Amino acid sequence: MSNNKTKLPDGPAVARIRTEKGVPRLYLNGVLTQPTMLAAIHDAGYLQGVDKTYESVLSEMERSDRAGNRIVRTIITFSLVNVEAMKKVVDDALGLIIFHAPNSYIFLSFSAGSDAYGIPGADPEKDHFRHHSAKVALNMMMDSDDMLDTNTAGKLEGFCSLASLPWIEQAKVMTAELVRYVRSVPEYARRVIGYMPCAGSAGEWFGPLFFEGATDGSYANTLGFRTFLQDKYSSDEALAGAWGKPGLTFDEVTIPDDIPGAGVERIKWESELSETLILTPEFQPYADYEDYYSGMVADRIISLCQVIKEESGGDSLAAAFYGYHSEVRVPFSGSFGLYKIKASGVVDVLGGPVSYKDRDLGGMGAYMSPTDSLKSSNILWLDEGDYRTHYRSGAGFVPGGTQEGVGDWIPSLPDENATLQVERRQFGKDMVNGTGSWWMDLVYRGWFDYDNFWKESVRLTRLAEWFVPRRAEASPEIAIVYDEEALNILGQPWQYGEDMLNDIRLMLFRMGYSFGMFSTRDVLAGKTPETKLYLFLTPWRLSEDDAAGLKKLLAGKTACWCYGNGLTDPDVFADLTGFRLTVGPGAEAQTMVFHNESPLAGVSMELRRLSPVYSAENGTPWAEYSISQGAAAAELQVNGYRSVFLGGTSMNGPVYCGLADLAGAHRYFCEEDVSYLHPNLAVLHASASGTRTLRLPEEADVYDYFNGKEYPSVREHTFETEAGQTHYFFIGCDEHPPVE
C-alpha cells in the first residue's frame, strides 16, 4: 500500500446520480463532479516485466492525476468461485491505482462471466453456451471441421449461457463478496465510487459469439424461452395458435434456427425472409425469441446492479455496458432491453464506445445509445473515448500488430491539433447532452500519455462543471422516436437497422437542428414537452393505450409516421394518425418522388426493398412510388396536429429539413457541419474550412469560448473555421465561463 498523501475525504465514498433540470449529474461526497475518467485495463498488468507493455498506462495514470483528473476506471477479471483469488486481484489493481493516481476515485468494472465448470449447481452440458445448429463451421476461430459451440480442443466453449440460472446466482454471490471486500478496506472504500459487471461477448452483454452470428441453443436458454412463452401464452393451445403449429406444446419448443440477422458469416446482411416485418404466425417464433432474449439479458444486468445497491447501502453506482442500438443494431444481440433497464430504478450508469462510424477529425463522434431516452430515467451515459490519437509512448499489446483499432479501418489522428479538436468535440457533446467520458488506451500504446492532453481534459472538465448547473432545462425540438420491441419484428434487421439507427445519424448531426432519440414510453411520460416534430420510425407495434396517450400529447405538433402500421391494429392506427393504409405487394428498391405542389417539391428519396409496400388511401398526397402504386407520402390534420405518412424506412437530409421547417423547428447551422445544440450552448465541429453562421431563434448574448470574444444581443454570428476545428458558443449566459 502506498503512503502517498491524497486529497480524498475519509470514510466510504458516496456516489449519487441526481437529475436536475432534466440532466443526470454525478455527485461524489455531495460535490458536483463532471464524470471524466481515465480508463485502464488492469488485466494488461500480467505483461509487466515481460515487455513493459503496461508502463504507458501507468504513466497515463500519473499524468492524469497530476493534472487534476478525479476518476480512474479500471476493469478486473477473477474467478466466480474463489473469493481469496478475487481479493488478490482487487489488491493488485487498486494498489496500482492508489500508488500511481493517489488523488483519484475509482470506478471498478469486473468480469461477471464464467464457464460452467466449478459453478455450484451448473452442468456444462446444460449451462454452457451452445450454437443453435448442430454443425456450423466458424473459420475465423477454429478449423472448418469443428463445431461452433466447441473450442479447438473439441470441448464446449468456455462460457456459460447468459440464461444459466446457476451462473447468475453465483455471479450475484461474487458481486456481493466484491462489494463487501472493497468496503471492508478503508483505503478502497474511500475511493471506489461504483461497480460495472461485465458479461457476454467482450463483457458488453451481447450474446456470446454475437459478432460471429451465433445464437444460443443451450438447454438453459431453451428452458428460459419456454418459461417466457408460458407466461405470455398461458396454454399450449394459445401458443400453437400464435405460431400456426397445431398440437405444439411448450415442452417441444426449441430455439428457432435462422433468426433474422444471425448467421456464421459474421454479419448476415440478407435475411432469408423477404418480409420487411414479421407479421404472420409462420415467423412469430423469431419475434417471440427476440422479445424474450433482450428481456432476459436486461434482467441479468438488473439483478447484479440490485446486489451492488443492496451491499453498498445505495452509496455506490451500479453500471453496465448496454443498449448499443446504432452499432449492435439487431435484436438477437440481446441489447434491446433498455425499456426494462430504465424501469428498474437500480441502474445508474450505462456506457459504450464512441460510435466507430465517422468518429475521427471532422466526423460526428456519435453515441451508440439513445442518451436522451436514458436521461429521462435518471441514467447517466458514459462514452468510452478509445480514440487512436497521434501519440505513442509504448509498443502496446501485440506490438506492431493488430488491434490498432477495433478493426483496423479506424486511422490514428494525424497530429496533436487533430487530437485537441476531437477532445474538444467530445467535451462539447458531453456538455450539451449531459453525458460523461472515459479516455481508454485500448491496446496500451500510450495514446493519452502526454501532459497537454490531460491539461486540456481537466480544463474542459472544469468548464463542464461550471456550465452544467447553468444550463436551462430544455427538450430537443425534434424527437426521433423508436421502440425496441417494434424492432424485434424486423425481418431484415441489419439492413433496416443500418438505415434507421446507424446511417440516419450521418444526417441528423449535420443538419443544424436540436434533436434527441426517445422511445414511445418517453413521449407518453411527457419527456419531450418542447418537441415540435416527432419522427416515429417504428410505429409498428403500438397498443390501443399507446395510441390514446399519443393523441392527447401531439396536439399542436407535427408527427411523421414511417413505413406503415405493421402489427398496430389498422383501426387504431387510423384513429391515431388519420391514415387508412393500403397494403400492396413487395417491391425492390425504388424511389419516392415528391410532387411539385407538395411542401417538399423537387425532393426525392431512395428506398430499400419493401415487403409489403404501404400507401396512403386518404389525405393530401405528397409523393408517389416509382414502382409501386399509391401515395408514398401524404399529409392531413387529425386530433389537433399535422400528421404525415412517409412510406419508407429511412430518411434523407432534404426530407428531414423539409419536415423540420414545416414543423417550425429552428435551424442553428445550415452548412452541414457536425453540431450539438442546446439553447445555452452551440457546439460546431467543422467538416470543412470556410465561413459559417450561427443563427439564433431570438436575440441573445453570444460568447465564443476558444476566441474569448463576446457578441452582445445578436441573432446571427458569422465566423471563420478550419476543417476539423471545434467551436463553443455559450448563449445567453449571465457570466463568462472560466478560462484557465
Please state whether the peptide bond connecting residue 612 to the residue before it is cis, i.e. omega within 30 degrees of 0: yes
CA distance 353 to 115: 26
pLDDT value at 700 more than 60: yes
Same domain, 353 and 455: yes
- Whether residue 192 contacts residue 13, with contact meaning beta carbons closer than 8 Å, is answered with yes
User: What is the predicted pLDDT for the residue at 223?
Assistant: 97
**Residue 566 forms part of a structural domain:** yes
* Distances from the Cα of 384 to the Cα of 279, 365, 413, 550, angstroms: 38, 11, 17, 35
Domain enclosing residue 682, as ranges: 674-731
Output the CA–CA distances (angstroms, integers) from residue 12 to 96, 195, 318, 408, 627, in the order listed: 19, 14, 16, 42, 67
- 284, part of any domain: no
Q: What is the dihedral of CA 25, 30, 31, 37, to 10 degrees?
A: -60
Structural domain ending residue among the three candidates 441, 470, 499? 470
The Cα–Cα gap between 285 and 669 comes to 46
Q: 649 and 557: one domain?
A: yes
The number of angstroms, rounded, from the C-alpha of 200 to the middle of its chain's C-alpha atoms is 16
For the cut 50, the answer to whether the pLDDT of residue 144 exceeds it is: no
More confident call, 135 vs 672: 672
Mean of the per-residue pLDDT values for the chain? 91
Q: Is the pLDDT of residue 91 over 90?
A: yes
Domain shared by 715 and 640, yes or no: no
- Write down the pLDDT at residue 153: 45
Based on the domain organization, do 300 and 442 belong to the same domain?
Answer: yes
- Provide the 10 A C-beta neighbour count for residue 143: 9
Q: Is residue 258 part of a domain?
A: no
Report percent pLDDT > 90 for the chain: 79
User: Is position 190 within any domain?
Assistant: yes
Using an 8 Å Cβ cutoff, are 99 and 62 in contact? no
**669: pLDDT strictly greater than 50:** yes
- Please report whether residue 621 resides in a domain: yes
- Residue 512 C-alpha cell reads as 443544424
- The pLDDT of residue 464 is above 60: yes
512 and 466 share one domain: no
Q: What's the pLDDT band for 481 if we cut at 50, 70, 90?
A: very high
In this structure, the answer to whether residues 592 and 517 fall within a common structural domain is: yes
Give the pLDDT score at 269: 63
Q: Does residue 595 sit in the same domain as residue 710?
A: no
Average pLDDT over residues 682-687: 98
- Which is more confidently placed, 582 or 56? 582
pLDDT value of residue 410: 77
Same domain, 568 and 616: yes
Q: For residue 39, is it left (φ>0), alpha (ψ between -120 and 50) or beta?
A: beta
pLDDT score, position 267:
53
* Number of folded domains that form the chain: 3
Going from the C-alpha of 261 to that of each of 461, 583, 719, the distances in angstroms are 41, 25, 46
Q: pTM of the prediction?
A: 0.94
What long-range pairs does 144-148 form, CB within 8 A, spacing at least 24? 148/209, 148/212, 148/214, 148/264
Rounded mean pLDDT of 731-736? Answer: 89
Evaluate whether 461 touches 246 at the Cβ level (below 8 Å).
no
Average pLDDT over residues 664-672: 97
Give the up-direction half-sphere exposure of residue 312: CA atoms within 13 A in the CB hemisphere.
Answer: 29
Would you say how long the chain is, in residues?
Answer: 740
Q: Say what the pLDDT of residue 409 is.
A: 63
Asked whether the beta carbons of 12 and 190 are under 8 A apart, the reply is yes
Q: Are residues 78 and 182 in the same domain?
A: yes
CATH code for position 587 = 3.40.50.880
724 pLDDT above the threshold of 50: yes
Q: What is the pLDDT of residue 349?
A: 98
Model confidence pLDDT, tens digit, residues 304-350 = 999 999 999 999 999 999 999 999 989 999 999 999 999 999 999 99
- The rounded radius of gyration (Å) of the Cα atoms in the chain is 26
Q: How confident is the model at residue 36 (pLDDT cuts 50, 70, 90)?
A: very high
Task: Read off the pLDDT band of 147 (50, 70, 90).
Answer: very low
Residue 607 maps to a domain: yes
Residues 491-501 have a mean pLDDT of 90
> Are 301 and 449 in the same domain?
yes
Angle value at C-alpha 305, between 303 and 309, nearest 5 degrees: 115
139 neighbors 145 (Cβ within 8 angstroms): no
The residue-averaged pLDDT of 153-157 equals 51
CA gap 241, 234 in Å, rounded:
12
CA angle 701, 703, 705 (to 5 degrees): 170
Residue that is last in its domain, among 663, 688, 722: 663
pLDDT in tens, 242-276: 999 999 999 999 999 888 888 755 556 667 788 99
Q: Does the pLDDT of residue 150 top 70, yes or no? A: no
Q: Are 129 and 218 in contact (CB under 8 A)?
A: yes
For residue range 384-415, list pLDDT tens digits in order.
999 999 999 887 765 444 555 454 567 889 99
Residues 429 and 404 in one domain: yes
Query: C-alpha dihedral over 720, 726, 730, 735, to 10 degrees?
Result: -100
- Higher pLDDT: 687 or 153? It is 687
| pLDDT attached to residue 44 | 54
User: Residue 565: what pLDDT?
Assistant: 98
| Statement to judge: residues 494 and 606 lie in one domain | yes
353 in Cβ contact with 384 (< 8 Å) = yes
Grid coordinates belonging to 382? 458514459
Q: DSSP letters of 194-237?
A: EEEEEBSBTTBTBPTTGGGT--B--HHHHHHHHHHHHHHH-SHH
Q: How far apart are CA 542 and CA 519, in angstroms?
A: 12
Contact call for residues 279 and 566 (beta carbons, < 8 A): yes
- The rounded distance, in Å, linking the Cα atoms of 250 and 458 is 57
How many helices and strands, by DSSP H and E, does the chain display?
A: 19, 27
Output the pLDDT for position 55.
Answer: 86
pLDDT above 70 covers what percent of the chain?
91
- Residue 2's pLDDT is 40
In a domain, 237, yes or no: no
Longest dimension (CA), the chain: 78
In 10 A of CB 740, how many CB atoms? Answer: 9
Residue at a domain's end among 405, 436, 470? 470
The enclosing domain of 193 has a CATH number of 3.20.20.80
pLDDT of residue 367: 97
Q: Contact at 8 Å (CB) between 474 and 679?
A: yes
Is residue 230 in some structural domain? Answer: no
